[in-house]
Structure 1
Amino acid sequence: MNAVRKVVKTIFPPPRVAPDGRAEWPSRTPYVLASMGGAMGFGNLLRFPSQVFNNNGIQWFIPYLMAICLLAIPVLILEVAIGQAYRSGCVIGFNGLDRKFTGVGFGMVCVGYAVAIYYIPILSWVMVYFRNSFQGASSFPWNDNPEQYFYQVVNRVLPQEAAYSEDGSSVLSYAKYTGTDVSGELIGWTLFSWFVVWLCLWKGISITARVVYITIVLPIILTVVLVGRGASLPNAGRGIKLYFGEFNADQLGKGQIWQAATSQVFYSTGVGFGYYTAYASYNSKFADAVQDAMMICSANAAFESFAAFAVFGVVGFLGLQPGVESVDTYSLGFFTLPTAIAEMPGAPFWAVLFFLTLFLLGISSSFALLDAMITTICDTHWGRKYSHATVATVITVISALMSLFYCSEFGYHATNTVDAGISNVALIFVVWAECVCSTSFYRYVDVVGQVGAPAFWTYQCAYIGAMIIGNAIAHGASDKVGAGVGFAVYIVGTLVSIFIAKEPSSRAPSFWGRNKYMNRIWWVGFYAGNQLKRDLNYVVCVGKQWRIPVYWAPTLRYFAAPVLSIIFCFAYPKFYPERGDPLTIFGFAVGHLIVFFVLVGFIIPKSMNVFVPPERRDEGNRQYAPQTILGKDDTNITSGVMPGQEEEAGLSPAASTDGAEKKI
């Protein structure tokens, strides 16, 4: 036994430990690879080509790149910087920003964990195909009817459909799922996949830092081989032209391509799942967070854009045409590509290669999703009593048992409905809450002390209310009317807020401070995000490292949040026609349960105390110190407070001076 332990310790030596006692990545490379692994998955090799095919042409990259630059990268910078600054997972990290944000961090952990529960059983489908790929090309079981074989693999039994009234206003009878048996093979491959995930997690980053060289580097190499083969197929150039050789400007005037591109970027990059913050917490506190975030996002976009050449080579080979055929994730991944592979010379080799690549990409995403929950538990005061291996083992076993639910005859439907509930409701709301909380309520005591509580809350209610009211009217009446009313609510609320605000005693920077009205606008509309940028820059952006740019916070607040609110509201019209399906209701309820956690954490911060160690709970209790960078001068924390300002904020000078402002 001692010999085995020595071998394991030699192969997976203990991680480097920082002065604060937290484990650290051995170098920057495994951290970046692990973060890329969370992003790189089925969405790169299957979903991206499907979306591009349905919106063919190089014009796709206009909304796609805009979504990356204006949505994915800003949110990713926030998640990475928080993980590094607070040296902890999502819950403690967001608690450090403000006690009210603890629920946002917990919501992110729940999103990633819920996805892992149904995502890993999908790997069992891949492994069934992988097992059958070793047969001769003429014996592939999917040759005759790939669609029928796929539904046989996933063990699907059709339910009895729900019945609705003629006008669709009421449900006459709910759908019934009569199939309750489970597939032994799916259970076996699901447990095998969980075992592989556990191997990647049980020793923490000491093993994760090494397995990423297999789970990331090998799929990249295999993808390069697949691209070479796909591009060399007969008529492959015809498919590649559909991808990169046409410009259909008229599609840019349609909402479909913008919604599809935003959805793909959001799905592919993986923001909001919690693992970026968890991984960044094992980074050096002074690692280049901004550069890392941009590198991860750019690498993910480059990988899926390159991998698409393999798929479009097959599209040209099969003669598929947009507008004639429409493909989705499953039809492309499990119907179209296996059929094309069967017609290639050396088909078994290419089939094995393709499904092995899919499996490795899925594994890299799976252990990233689960790691956010493990990090959260290990960071708690009660989780510290146990080793990382123990926590990882217990969570993996419990999760594996829960995931067997998706191996039943109704498991395929459950996978789709829970995925819809998480993706369309919980994930969108959590990231929207990230953007709004961090740029609207961060250090709000400073704003209240400067302009008064009525002005502050009037502006915030107008800002959030505009999104709620505008979207509600857009779906209930007209999108143009909704947009107009939304802007009107925001403009009126802003004007009222400006006129009822007190005159700030601390002047805003740059041109914002030249006029008293502009000064007030800056305090209610830009102070929180600007101060968060300054605080994070001071801690995680030192020396020659890339600094968080000045437009970062306004982008999160005034572009990302409104766009996400629009996407979030699409979930309800989609749910209504399917409300007679119990599994659809279940998926919708799971999504809203996570929304509930976020809201409860904001309203009752103490409800999340179980996930925050006692010694760190006060980090988010901000004292009044307007325009003071946290941690820069603890002995003079009120350097930004003007004479008499303490009384304006309802604080005594002593209370202001003795405030327990923590270094980030």
Structure 2
Amino acid sequence: MDGVKRILRKLSPEAKKSEDGRDMFSNRIQFVLCAMGGAVGLGNLLRFPSVVYNNYGLQFFIPYLIALFFVALPLLVLEISLGTVYRGGPVLAWHSVNKRAKGLGLSVVFNGYVVVTYYVPLLAWIMKYFRRSFQSPLPWKGQDLATYFTNEIVSNLDPASVGSFNPDGSVASYTDWVGTAVLGETAGWAIFTWFVTWLCVFRGVGMTGRVIYVTMGLPLVLIIVLIGRGTSLPNAGAGIKLYFGTWRTSALESPQIWQAAFGQIFFSIGVGFGYFTSWASYCSRHSNAVQDALIIGLSNSAIEVIAAFSVFGVIGYLGIDPSDGETFSTFVTGFITYPEALAQMPGAPFWAVLFFFTLFLLGLTSAFSLLEVMTTLIMDTDWGRKVPRWAVCTTVAVASALISLIYCTEFGLQALDAVDTYVNDVALFFVVWCECLAATSLYRCRDVVHQVGWGGYLTYTLGFVIAQVLGIRIAYVSSPGVGAGVGFAFFFLSAALGVCMCRTPGLPAPRFFGNNSFLSRFWWVAFYPGNQLTRDMNVVIGVGKNWNIPWFWAPIMKYISGPILAIVLSFAYPKFIETHMFDPIFIYGFSIVHLVYPTIILAALIPSWFNWIIPSEKIALGSKPVVPMETIDNTNEITRAASEEQSYGYDGDQAVETKKL
């Protein structure tokens, strides 16, 4: 028995402990792989080539790279840095930014948890294909793949009637879904997947850090094999030419390609789901967070760009061309197009087993990363610490498995599609937009008020928010040009009014902003919170040879990333009104994701109501001391360094005397 226990401890070791007693990854590679495992999933192998195919041509990479560097990477740096500095999951991290932002952290957890409850049933469909791949010939050979997927894999029943609109746009009738039974095989594979997911995380990062070498490393090897197979197929060159050998300048004039590129990079990276912050909380306190974020983000893009050669080889092999008007989606690529090509290949069962096993492993890393978000939330609380981790993880996994049975029914595909559509289009974009705003406007805002007063700060900040809402609204009722004009005009007017309402700060702004009273006021309301968050986090993560967060990070996130996210968020509402308002399942999906709105608002208005999910010794972190221009680390110690003064342009006589609270 002792020998068995030793073997089990070897296979599932306890996690290392950091100085503050928190579990910690054994090394940096484990964290990077776990974070990449959350990002690199089905979207890399299936969604990315689908989006590129629908917008075929090398010109797609222009908006794609802009989205990567101006939206995805700044937010990735934010989420990883917060987890590293504040040593907690999304709720604790955002509470530490400001006590009124803990609802934002809860909403991040909500996003990740909702996704994992339908993500696992999706993996169950993959496993149904996987089981059938051991037959020769493949059972779907010679069949219509769309019909096979609907009848044999998903096994959903068509609605008895489809809803419709009245001429005035109101709902005339609602779609009637009659199939409600739970599908045995789908539920069985879902429960199996939940068990495997639980095995990967129930012991903490000590075990997960070892599992990730297999669940992340093996799929990368298998992707290389699939690329070799895809690109060696007859006529594969025609598909690859669509991918990397075509240039269409006119495509850049269409908003479709820009929306598709920004949507893809955003969904692919995976910010807003909480696993980056959760995994980063198990790193060393002085980890090189900025470098890690760049490694993860760029590696994620490299993997999906390279892996797409496999799919485009299959596209060329099947003779499919986007000029025919056929569009692709994740489901079409993974469950219809690729299986059709597999059935026609020599050695079809081998390649089918390899393909679906690769998909399962890619999905598994994302699944246990998403499950970890909820587990970390509970383990961070005072009451969660009293329970063993395995018990918390088991409870969360069992409850999640029961919820996921909704998607294992005869209407499961529609339910998955509804929730997936609006958790991504509404909840995710709104939450991450709030992350940009909270990090660059709410952090240490009392310092701003101390210097310039509430009137100027609120006028500028609210004007900035209203300008985005107003501009987008007018763009829909008039034109994008008019909307942009009104939005910018309102912002400039509110900014000017806010600056006029500010009193002259006692501490002038740095560099040329400090040479003029009005410029100094403007700097305090426009740039101080984000600039101070940058400096405060660099105290922890910028030590030694670690990379510092650059000075331009916060302005990009506030004035570029945020407005872009607001625009993309606005696309979801016309879609619901025009196409889904008569479908009860889509009404459910659209409604449930809006829980993030009251959560964020209520926690901002009454933050003390949510203190029960914050460790008692860290509640004070939500209220930063009023010490303008002083750096504060997460132990509430005020620090000052000459190197920081030189880097950020502060003069010694501008600072309040350094002291320890």
**Structure 2 residue 475 is the aligned partner of structure 1 residue 471:** no
User: 1:454 touches 1:497 (CA, 8 Å); kept in 2?
Assistant: yes
In structure 2, relative to structure 1, the CA distance for the partners of 1:428 and 1:105 (3 Å cut) is same
**Structure 2 residue 588 is the aligned partner of structure 1 residue 586:** yes
In structure 1, how many angstroms separate the alpha carbons of the residues matched to 2:558 and 2:103?
19
Q: What's the counterpart of residue 213 of structure 2? A: 213
User: 1:625 touches 1:637 (CA, 8 Å); kept in 2?
Assistant: no
1:323 Cα deviation (Å)?
2.3
In structure 1, how many angstroms separate the alpha carbons of the residues matched to 2:638 and 2:330?
57
In the TM superposition, what are the counterparts of 1:513-528 in structure 2 within 5 Å?
A: 513-528=514-529
Counterpart residue identity of residue 62, structure 1: I
**Structure 2 residue 10 is the aligned partner of structure 1 residue 10:** yes
Count of aligned pairs between the two proteins: 645
In structure 2, how many angstroms separate the alpha carbons of the residues matched to 1:352 and 1:123?
14
Residues 35-86 of structure 1: per-residue CA shift (max 9 Å, x gap): 0000011100100000011111111111111111111110010101110101
In structure 2, how many angstroms separate the alpha carbons of the residues matched to 1:284 and 1:480?
48
Residues 97-125 of structure 1: per-residue CA shift (max 9 Å, x gap): 11011111111111000000001000110
Instruction: Report sequence identity in percent.
Output: 45
In structure 2, how many angstroms separate the alpha carbons of the residues matched to 1:71 and 1:29?
25
1:609 Cα deviation (Å)?
1.2
Residues 203-255 of structure 1: per-residue CA shift (max 9 Å, x gap): 01111101111111100000000001111111111111111112111111111
Q: What's the counterpart of residue 30 of structure 1? A: 30
In the TM superposition, what are the counterparts of 1:463-502 in structure 2 within 5 Å?
A: 463-502=464-503
User: 1:636 touches 1:657 (CA, 8 Å); kept in 2?
Assistant: no
Residues 164-210 of structure 1: per-residue CA shift (max 9 Å, x gap): 44324211222221111121100110000001100101101111101
In structure 2, how many angstroms separate the alpha carbons of the residues matched to 1:410 and 1:657?
65
In the TM superposition, what are the counterparts of 1:514-553 in structure 2 within 5 Å?
A: 514-553=515-554
User: 2:44 touches 2:304 (CA, 8 Å); kept in 1?
Assistant: yes
1:580 Cα deviation (Å)?
1.4
In the TM superposition, what are the counterparts of 1:219-618 in structure 2 within 5 Å?
A: 219-324=219-324, 325-577=326-578, 578-618=580-620
Counterpart residue identity of residue 191, structure 1: I
Q: What's the counterpart of residue 169 of structure 2? A: 169
User: 1:54 touches 1:323 (CA, 8 Å); kept in 2?
Assistant: no
User: 2:637 touches 2:660 (CA, 8 Å); kept in 1?
Assistant: no
User: 1:625 touches 1:638 (CA, 8 Å); kept in 2?
Assistant: no
Q: What's the counterpart of residue 653 of structure 2? A: none
In structure 2, how many angstroms separate the alpha carbons of the residues matched to 1:160 and 1:462?
49
1:623 Cα deviation (Å)?
2.0
1:130 Cα deviation (Å)?
0.4
In structure 2, relative to structure 1, the CA distance for the partners of 1:233 and 1:333 (3 Å cut) is same
What is the SS of the residue equivalent to 2:631? coil
What is the SS of the residue equivalent to 1:323? helix
In structure 2, relative to structure 1, the CA distance for the partners of 1:639 and 1:360 (3 Å cut) is closer
In structure 2, how many angstroms separate the alpha carbons of the residues matched to 1:392 and 1:635?
34
**Structure 2 residue 146 is the aligned partner of structure 1 residue 144:** no
Q: What's the counterpart of residue 644 of structure 1? A: none
Residues 120-170 of structure 1: per-residue CA shift (max 9 Å, x gap): 000110001001111113x42353111111112112111244544432421
Q: What's the counterpart of residue 626 of structure 2? A: 624
What is the SS of the residue equivalent to 2:322? coil
1:294 Cα deviation (Å)?
0.4
1:618 Cα deviation (Å)?
1.3
In structure 2, how many angstroms separate the alpha carbons of the residues matched to 1:155 and 1:250?
42
In structure 2, how many angstroms separate the alpha carbons of the residues matched to 1:620 and 1:659?
20
Q: What's the counterpart of residue 650 of structure 2? A: none
In structure 2, relative to structure 1, the CA distance for the partners of 1:105 and 1:633 (3 Å cut) is closer
Counterpart residue identity of residue 78, structure 2: L
User: 1:155 touches 1:407 (CA, 8 Å); kept in 2?
Assistant: no
In the TM superposition, what are the counterparts of 1:158-197 in structure 2 within 5 Å?
A: 158-197=158-197
In structure 1, how many angstroms separate the alpha carbons of the residues matched to 2:476 and 2:271?
27
User: 1:623 touches 1:659 (CA, 8 Å); kept in 2?
Assistant: no
What is the SS of the residue equivalent to 1:113? helix
In structure 2, how many angstroms separate the alpha carbons of the residues matched to 1:201 and 1:136?
36
Q: What's the counterpart of residue 58 of structure 2? A: 58
In structure 2, how many angstroms separate the alpha carbons of the residues matched to 1:468 and 1:564?
12
Unaligned runs of 5+ in 2: 643-655
In structure 2, relative to structure 1, the CA distance for the partners of 1:658 and 1:386 (3 Å cut) is farther
User: 2:638 touches 2:659 (CA, 8 Å); kept in 1?
Assistant: no
Q: What's the counterpart of residue 87 of structure 1? A: 87
Counterpart residue identity of residue 543, structure 1: G
1:500 Cα deviation (Å)?
1.6
Residues 257-290 of structure 1: per-residue CA shift (max 9 Å, x gap): 1100000001110001000000000000101000
Q: TM-score, normalised by structure 2?
A: 0.95
1:477 Cα deviation (Å)?
2.7
In structure 1, how many angstroms separate the alpha carbons of the residues matched to 2:134 and 2:624?
61
In structure 2, relative to structure 1, the CA distance for the partners of 1:634 and 1:613 (3 Å cut) is closer
In structure 2, how many angstroms separate the alpha carbons of the residues matched to 1:319 and 1:78?
43
In structure 2, relative to structure 1, the CA distance for the partners of 1:406 and 1:516 (3 Å cut) is same
1:12 Cα deviation (Å)?
2.2
In structure 2, relative to structure 1, the CA distance for the partners of 1:283 and 1:637 (3 Å cut) is closer
Residues 310-356 of structure 1: per-residue CA shift (max 9 Å, x gap): 00111111111112122111111111111111111111110000000
Unaligned runs of 5+ in 1: 641-655
User: 2:443 touches 2:529 (CA, 8 Å); kept in 1?
Assistant: yes
